[in-house]
């Protein structure tokens, strides 16, 4: 796995360099048109890139968690989730326990973020925690910890910021160029003194600049999305390895993909971070080239083709089987990999409905957690009723409508 991580890091540097080059190229043509010197535009673009990259490195995780409206929880808030994260942290060999966040949303999704494995966070929606059984939850958490272990989270944060910068800069720049061309202002005004030759050159710069403004965001997205999709497959392989139960993640992906709930806090900047793109549902006619994630059905097919074991080599063989011979992992990673057996399901058979008592327990767990996060208090009556007290309640007792007793708050 370390060889694959090193390979990812090399690709990451190349990816950042290509996207940075696109950003600088946009700045160069802007400077050439507005200031008659590409150097000025390059300097401005470099300053913008450096500033945004520093923000992404030092505050990227905080920004993403804030945009997602995620709130940090402790072991007492959601014991089942905390235990699963701890189990997968141990299984993956991660040294530090990730921070755990909850997004109060009925949609089913999760993501990981952080500067490095020692300062990482995992965020899940309340809907995911309520709907998934333990095996499925393990599969999702192992996938996200796979992103942390494989050093994906920092790259994704930096690239999201850089991609957003290119899109915004190109959008405004294209409109400035068009406005300048139609009004005769901007670069044309200062070059008009140089005669028809200068005017012709300015027209060429304008046309090339406009084409670049249109193509740069598209090219940056294609590069980023292609790498993002490959990292999703690698995280799926890591999940199968850490849990030794590929069906857990496959079943979870089925539930997440089949959910009709839309994640309210999702946007273009955070969408690539999630286990399934919250802005695109399975069956939508979006092009594969412009998708941040592989098709859900493909990911499930690969996981369910791992009949022989749960190792990286087994995942590679399953991937080749589904994709007619094409591989996803490097030879150095899969060579010499030992046998990793698939364990039995820990609760119920995947695809079957969980027992009513287990479903009710998960619903109650999530409800109690959200009430606690919103500073509600709970008091128990001798008759067995439990009452939830809102934070603004000022009386010293409450009436139990079941038995008629007064309960001290």
HEC string of the chain? CHHHHHHHHHHHHHHHHHHHHHHHHHHHHHHHHHCCCHHHHHHHHHHHHHHHHHHHHHHHHHHHHHHCCEEEECCCCCHHHHHHHHHHHHHHCCCCCCEEEEECCCCCCEEEEECCHHHEEEEEEHHHHHHCCHHHHHHHHHHHHHHHHCCHHHHHHHHHHHHHHHHHHHHHHHHHHHHHHHHCCCHHHHHHHHHHHHHHHHHHHHHHHHHHHHHHHHHHHHHHHHHHHHHHHHHHHHHHHHHCCHHHHHHHHHHHHHCCCCCCCCCCCCHHHECCCCCCCCCCCCCHHHCCCCCHHHHHHHHHCCCCCCCHHHHHHHHHHHCCCCCCCCHHHHCCCCCCCCCCCCCCCCCCCCCHHHHHHHHHHHHHHHHHHCCCEEEECCCCCEEEECCCCCCCEEECCCCCCEEEC
**Whether residue 3 lies in the annotated active site:** no
Task: Single out the catalytic residue among 3, 87, 95, 144.
Answer: 144
Mind telling me the catalytic residues? 144
């Amino acid at each position: 796995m370390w060889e694959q991580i090193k390979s990812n890091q090399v690709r990451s540097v190349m990816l950042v360099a290509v996207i940075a080059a696109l950003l600088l190229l946009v700045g160069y043509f802007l400077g050439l048109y507005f200031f008659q010197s590409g150097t000025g535009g390059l300097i401005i673009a470099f300053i913008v890139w450096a500033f945004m990259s520093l923000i992404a490195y030092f505050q990227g995780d905080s920004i993403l968690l804030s945009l997602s409206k995620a709130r940090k929880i402790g072991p007492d808030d959601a014991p089942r989730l905390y235990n699963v994260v701890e189990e997968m942290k141990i299984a993956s060999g991660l040294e530090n326990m990730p921070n755990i966040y909850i997004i109060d949303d009925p949609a089913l999704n999760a993501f990981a973020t952080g500067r490095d494995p020692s300062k990482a966070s995992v965020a899940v929606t309340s809907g995911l925690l309520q709907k998934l059984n333990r095996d499925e939850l393990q599969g999702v958490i192992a996938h996200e910890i796979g992103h942390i272990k494989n050093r994906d989270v920092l790259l994704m944060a930096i690239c999201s910021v850089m991609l957003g910068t290119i899109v915004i800069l190109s959008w405004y720049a294209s409109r400035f160029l068009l406005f300048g061309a139609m009004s005769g202002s901007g670069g044309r005004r200062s070059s008009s003194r140089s005669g028809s030759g200068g005017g012709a050159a300015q027209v060429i710069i304008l046309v090339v600049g406009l084409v670049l403004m249109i193509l740069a965001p598209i090219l940056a997205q294609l590069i980023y999305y292609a790498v993002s999709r490959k990292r999703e497959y690698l995280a799926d392989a890591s999940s199968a390895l850490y849990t030794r139960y590929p069906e857990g993640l496959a079943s979870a992906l089925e539930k997440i993909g089949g959910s009709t709930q839309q994640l309210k806090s999702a946007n273009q900047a955070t969408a690539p971070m999630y286990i399934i793109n919250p802005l695109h549902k399975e069956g939508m006619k979006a092009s594969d080239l412009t998708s941040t994630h592989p098709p859900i059905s493909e990911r499930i097919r690969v996981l369910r083709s791992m009949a022989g074991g749960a190792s990286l080599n087994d995942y590679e063989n399953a991937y080749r089987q589904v994709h007619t011979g094409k591989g996803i992992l490097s030879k150095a990673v899969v060579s010499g990999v030992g046998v990793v057996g698939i364990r039995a399901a820990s609760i119920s058979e995947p695809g079957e409905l969980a027992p009513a008592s287990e479903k009710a327990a998960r619903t109650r767990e999530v409800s109690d957690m959200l009430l606690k996060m919103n500073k509600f208090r709970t008091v128990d009556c001798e008759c067995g009723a439990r009452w939830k007290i809102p934070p603004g309640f000022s009386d010293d007792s409450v009436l139990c409508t079941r038995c008629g007793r007064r309960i001290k708050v």
